[in-house]
Chains A and B, each alone.
Chain A
Amino acid sequence: MAVPPVTLITAAPLDHAAIVAALDSSGIGAVAVFLGLVRNNNKGRTVLHLEYECYEALALRGLDLIVAEAREKWPSVRLAIHHRIGRMEIGEASVAIAAASPHRADAFAASRYAIERIKQIVPIWKHEYFEGGDVWIEGATADPDDADARKEALRIACA
């Protein structure tokens, strides 16, 4: 099987074994895998399913940027990010992150940094279908050059 790409936007179900396989494991002592799942409730609403859309060319660039930022902060960490788009049911994974590192602390920190940055700068949107209606979820105004946002993601990652 070909080695999976480090960053990926796909309509196919995410495979957490594949994302670990995307990373070179030489010298590695820890791998942190994070999966973001479709939750059955949000802000008091009963969620039925989600539909994700993205601006694919820019979303991939955003994921690549996050990998580069993480490498700058944690040079020994190897990071992979796969994000799914399209319709997802409750309990399915919408995002998978793997961070491999010689030691656990950096693996946990880099994976946390990645999910915080995804929510800040990657042009992906979730459309929530809930009992009684539907709504586009709107989070952060995306600006990769916003140094304060990046600092905040680092602060959370290193807390």
Chain B
Amino acid sequence: MRVTVRLFARLRDIAGTGELMRETPAGANVAAVWSSLVTDFPELSAYEKSISCAVNADYSRFTAAVSDGDEIAFLPPVSGG
């Protein structure tokens, strides 16, 4: 199945893009999508402990299962205001 990955701020800079498509095996969770990104962009691993994730624009957990067509976002620590 295919999911859309959204990256923001420094994560986007590291990957060189804010949006990419990933093929994931059926039954994959958010953590698996993140791991596959880290394989391609090892610098992302520094964010392992500090990122949040969202599925279809709603905060989620790394253990959440993903479905075909989902939008998975990885969010570095926020700094609004």
Contact pattern, A 29-64, Cβ under 8 Å of B = 1, otherwise 0? 000000010000000000000001111011101000
Nearest-Cβ distance from residue A54 to partner chain B, whole angstroms: 7
A142-B78 in contact (CB<8A): yes
Complex: A145 Cα to B52 Cα, angstroms:
12
Size of the chain B interface, CB-CB below 8 angstroms: 20
**A83 located at the interface, meaning its Cβ lies under 8 Å from any Cβ of chain B in the complex:** yes
- Beyond A55-B73, A143-B59, whether A136 also contacts B9 by CB under 8 A is yes
Q: Restricting to B15-54, which residues have a CB under 8 Å from any CB of A? A: 50-52, 54
Interface centre among A57, A94, A123, A144 (most CB of B within 10 A): A123
Q: Restricting to B37-81, which residues have a CB under 8 Å from any CB of A? A: 50-52, 54, 57-59, 73, 75-81
Q: Which of A54, A83, A138 contacts B76, CB < 8 Å?
A: A138
Q: Restricting to A98-113, which residues have a CB under 8 Å from any CB of B? A: none
**A127 located at the interface, meaning its Cβ lies under 8 Å from any Cβ of chain B in the complex:** yes
| Stretch in contact with the other chain, from A14-22, A68-76, A114-122 | A114-122
Size of the chain A interface, CB-CB below 8 angstroms: 33
Query: What A residues does B75 contact at CB under 8 A?
Result: 55, 58, 123, 142
Nearest-Cβ distance from residue A150 to partner chain B, whole angstroms: 14
- Beyond A58-B57, A58-B58, whether A124 also contacts B79 by CB under 8 A is yes
Complex: A123 Cα to B52 Cα, angstroms:
9
A124-B78 in contact (CB<8A): yes
Nearest-Cβ distance from residue A30 to partner chain B, whole angstroms: 23
A138-B59 in contact (CB<8A): no
- Beyond A119-B80, A123-B75, A123-B78, whether A57 also contacts B13 by CB under 8 A is no
Nearest-Cβ distance from residue A76 to partner chain B, whole angstroms: 25
Query: What A residues does B6 contact at CB under 8 A?
Result: 55
> Can you list the 4 inter-chain pairs with the closest CB atoms, starting with the nearest?
A124-B80, A57-B57, A125-B9, A137-B79
Q: Please list the residues of chain A having a beta carbon within 8 angstroms of any beta carbon in chain B.
A: 36, 52-55, 57-59, 61, 83, 94-95, 115, 118-127, 136-145
